[in-house]
Amino acid sequence: MSHESRESTSAQGRGTPERPTSRDGAGFSPPHTPASSGAAERPSGPARSDPGAPPPFPGTEDVDQRRVLGGAGYTSARPSNDPVAVAAMVLGVAGLVPLVGIAAIVCGHVALRRLRTSRRAGAGLAVGGLVLGYTLTALWVLFYLATRALPG
């Protein structure tokens, strides 16, 4: 029985799949799950047109194969950020505290060197940490020199 022949039109005009009443003549009747109010019923497994098809992979019985495979294609996993680049950015923001900017500068340079040979992301975080580290360290040095130059 093909997928198209299993579709039936309800009173609202939506196509809902019919539930099979037997599997290979064994009298199998799947349990009925009540549909939510007015929503289309979701099939309990992939629609198999061949009765001799192998059973679904364990753990995927409730997965609708059309929904999983129906998109534009599989996407690759996003690369994770390098932890040293994240630390550089955090320390750059925390550079308002004296001498913390120096740690941001060190972490930023280490992260950029590590990112050259890895497949991780985070170059923007490392550069941001470097910019904040250098800027805030320069401001702290100017503040220190200005307070030492004042008489008193």
Torsion of CA 20, 21, 26, 29, to 10 degrees: 100
**CB atoms < 10 A from the CB of 115, how many?**
19
How many independent structural domains does the chain possess?
Answer: 1
Inter-residue contact 107 to 91 (CB < 8 Å): yes
Q: pLDDT by residue for the chain (152 residues), tens digit each?
A: 444 444 444 444 455 555 555 455 555 555 555 555 544 554 555 555 567 777 777 777 777 777 767 666 666 677 899 999 999 999 999 999 988 999 999 999 999 999 999 989 999 999 999 999 999 999 999 999 999 988 76
Provide the pLDDT for residue 113. 96
- Position 34 in a domain: no
Provide the pLDDT for residue 18. 54
Provide the pLDDT for residue 85. 96
- Position 111 in a domain: yes
- Which range marks the domain in which residue 97 is found? 84-149
- Position 104 in a domain: yes
